[in-house]
Every structure is written in C-alpha cells, then in structure tokens.
Amino acid sequence: MKIEKGLSRQGFILYFAGISLWLGVALLSACSVSSNSAKNKDRPNVVLILIDALRPDKLGCYGFQEGISPEIDEMARKGVQFKNVISQCSWTNPSVGSLLTSLFPRTLGLYRKTNEILNDRFTTLPEILKSQNYLTIGITANPNLNKVNNFHQGFDRYIESDIVWPWLNPKPGQEILTLSARLKSVPEVFATALDILNRDKQRPFFLFLHLMDVHTFMKTEIRPEFRSLFDHYSRERERTYYLKVRQTSSDVGVFVQTLLSKPGCENTLFIISADHGEGLFDHPDVPDSEGHAYLLYDSHIKVPLIFYHPNSGQEPRQIDQEVRLIDLLPTVLDYLKISGKPSKIVGKSLLPLIKGTKERISLPKYSVAETRTSNVYKVAVFGKNWIYIENRAYHPGLNLRELQSRYRKQDGKRTDFINKEPEIAEAMAKFLKTWERKFPDGKVTPWKQEPSPETIEQLKSLGYIK
C-alpha cells in the first residue's frame, strides 16, 4: 500500500489568517466530481472527525453553559445528536481499534500502550469502504495511531504523526515526543486533508481525522482571539481544556462549512465524536483521575456523537437511548447502503434511530468498557442508573468492586454504593461473567521491535504508563 508522506509544517502558521481564500481555491478543485460508477455516484463522502479526549458535557449541545462550542452545537442542532454514547475504553488505541472494527478491544488483543498492534486479520471500516471504491484517507495527530501500530490498514493515504517514540529512530523531519513537543495542530490536519483531496480527484471519499488539540497533556497554541476566555476558572488545566475545546470547535466549523460550500462536496456526511473523555477535577478523592486511561467513570468513557449531513433531507433529532462507539461501523455501512458486513462484528446499526423509524433499537441490557494499560486493569458494566466496576489491580481510593450512581459525579469510595445496593451489584457482576465467557481475551500481536528500557522510562515520565 502506498502511504503519503507527512507534509511540512512550514506555511501553516498563517493558516487561519487567509483561510477563506486558501480553502476556497483548494476546494474548488478538490471537490470537483470525478467519474465514478453508477453504484457510487449517489453515495455521500464521509468525514469522521475524532476529537481526542473530548467530553460531551463540555459542549454546549450537551449542556455546558459557557458558549464553548457554537459551531459544533449548530451541527448538532441541524443533525442527529446521540446524547448518551459509551466508548469501549478510556484511552486511544483500544477505543479507536474497536470503533474501526466493531469488535471489543479484548477481541483485538489491544490492552496496553506498548508492544501491541491492530492485527491485519481484523477487517476495518476503511478496508470495507475502499472495497466499495471509496478513496480512503487517514490523518492522525496522535502518535499512538501511527503505522507502527497498524492503524493505517485500509487507507489509500495515511498521514501519521511526525512526533514519534524514541525507539522508532526518527527519520528526517520527525521529532521525539517530549513534554514540549508540539503535535500537528487542528488547522494543519485540515490543511493536509484538503491538499490530498486537491491532488486526488477520486470520489466518493472517506476521511478519518484524529485531532489532538483538546488532549490536556499536549502542548497547544491558543490563538489571540480565544486567550481571554474562561478566565474565571482558577485551575489552569481546566481553563486550558476549555480554551482548546473552544478553539477546536471554531476550526471544525470553518472546515465543515467551507467544504460544504464548494461544488461537488454538498453530499458529505460529517460524523463528530471522540475516542474517550477526560477526568479533569471531577474525582478529587481518586489519584490519577484528572487525565484518562486509568478509570472507567462517565467522565472518562462517555463521548459525543453527532451525524451532520445538511443536504440529505435528514430530519434533525436528538436520541436518548444509550449506544456505543462499537455501533458506528455497521451504522455507517447501513447509511451508505453497503451490504456484506463482517460476520463477527458485535455492534448494531443505529440507522433506525437516525432515520426515526424506531424510537429504540435492541441493544444489550448493559454496555461494557475496560482498560488495562500499565498497572491498571478495570472492567465496567454500564446500566441506565448504575456503573458496576471491578478494579482487578489495586488503585488507591477505590474498592476492588464499585457500584457508582450515574446521577452524580463518581468519586471512588466516597460515592460507592457497593455495600448499600448488593443485589444490583450482584446482578451486574453476573452479567459481566457471562459477557467475559462470550468474549474471551484475544492474543496480542506484538511490535516488530521491543521498546527499550529508556523508552519505557520516558513513557512513564510522560504519564502514558506507570
């Protein structure tokens, strides 16, 4: 498979200063319709935007009151918004692997942050779309999704992060990940995508974009027009998170509206979501709770999900039924009227909810998520009112078994109902045992090169492993 090399960052600094003119010129050519088979001519382009670590409750359309995301809010208002969505893991690799395959992370053998890849034997969404004559393009600002972990399978063009782990022996133009390294920004990701579309006229296209600016750990430049916002938040990390959400929403809005305004690109479905959430300061009594990956509370697992296809005639609606990111693959295929789904997928198509032909669809009584990175091993069962969690590796501030209410912020032992509602906990534990028998652990596919002790130490210093 031919993989596009990463583009230089030179020239992107003034991206937004001239964005309307630049995008207008690029997209006039980029969105001209090429000749395709009759089978594909009416199928929409699909743009999947994953905003790393974006919590739904920090968007205006999900209830945040700070005017933080007017562009995304407008798309939710005019599109289809799923109000309750569960990711299958609280960090990137297992979550994205599950999303792209409609299989659970354990089935994929994705557990930890080192020495594991997405095996070729699993069929991904871009592979399916490529077989249907879609041009498939992937661009990630997150090095966890670089080619070394095999997340590029099925993409005609795949632009990986030019920030890499030290064991990769960086090539010219690449940097080693440090606390001060700047990953590819949202405007750079969008500009790279448009450059590829300008040069490759094949239509329809599937565009997968993984944006990292909201990720609180990563260095992000906040532009002057946003720097004075949210100054009433005293915690720097929290305020920075909100600034990044505000700026990213603005960037997404510019990209989406410019794309839609050009001839030949009117028939485009945009899907906006996230791979996982972020703890922030919601769990003060639990160590290692401010980021993600180490817990399975709502703040870490709930994600937004918005379908926006303004020229499709789709009636706007909000959907209350709780669904899962693992349901995305069959939903997209049904939306595109593509038959022949992989036989072993576990997700269910959400198209009846999107089209309004059903108010509810048949889903398992409970949703399941887990995380096993570093010294962490947790499995959680999500019900309408409760989260049952088994902490299978010791975590300070937590009981080995938890029962947390979903109507309040979960905060370890202080909010644990495990001893007050034993019957509820036991019923959910019984479901988990049955689920684990049905979905046993899969085999890990290792990297071709083992991480060095120095790499492990750096990953620890960056907070990626303990």
Low pLDDT (below 50) residues in the chain: 1-30, 32-37
Torsion 6-11-16-20 (CA) sign: negative
Residue 401 domain-assigned?
Answer: no
226: how many CB neighbours lie within 10 A of its CB?
Answer: 14
Q: Retrieve residue 128's tokens.
A: 């399916």
Cα–Cα dist 102/272, whole Å: 17
Cα–Cα dist 124/130, whole Å: 10
Look up the pTM and report it: 0.90
The number of C-alpha atoms within 13 Å of 138 and in the hemisphere containing its C-beta is 26
- Cβ-proximal residues to 153 (8 Å cutoff; 6+ apart), any chain: 1, 118, 120, 124, 126, 127
Cα–Cα dist 56/64, whole Å: 9
Contact call for residues 80 and 314 (beta carbons, < 8 A) = yes
How many structural domains compose the chain? 1
Residue 427 domain-assigned?
Answer: no
| 48-76 b/e (C-beta count within 10 Å ≥ 16 → b) | bbbbbbbbbebbbbbebeeebbebbbbbb
Q: What is the pLDDT of residues 80-138, one digit of tens each?
A: 999 999 999 999 999 999 999 999 999 999 998 778 999 999 999 999 999 999 999 99
Residue 421 domain-assigned?
Answer: no
The number of C-alpha atoms within 13 Å of 310 and in the hemisphere containing its C-beta is 12
Residue 253 domain-assigned?
Answer: yes
Dihedral of CA atoms 290, 92, 13, 462 in degrees, nearest 10, equals 50
Cα–Cα dist 94/87, whole Å: 10
Residue 207 domain-assigned?
Answer: yes
Q: What's the pLDDT score for residue 13?
A: 36
Residue 23, domain CATH: 3.40.720.10
Residue 174 domain-assigned?
Answer: yes
Contact call for residues 23 and 183 (beta carbons, < 8 A) = no
Residue 181 domain-assigned?
Answer: yes
Pairing of strands 305-308, 268-273: antiparallel
For residue 426, the surrounding DSSP H or E stretch is: helix 422-438
Domain holding 134, by residue range, is 19-364+442-461
Residue 143 domain-assigned?
Answer: yes
Cα–Cα dist 188/186, whole Å: 5
Q: What's the pLDDT score for residue 97?
A: 98
The C-alpha R_g of the chain, in whole angstroms, comes to 21
Tell me how far apart the terminal alpha carbons of the chain are, to the nearest angstrom.
36
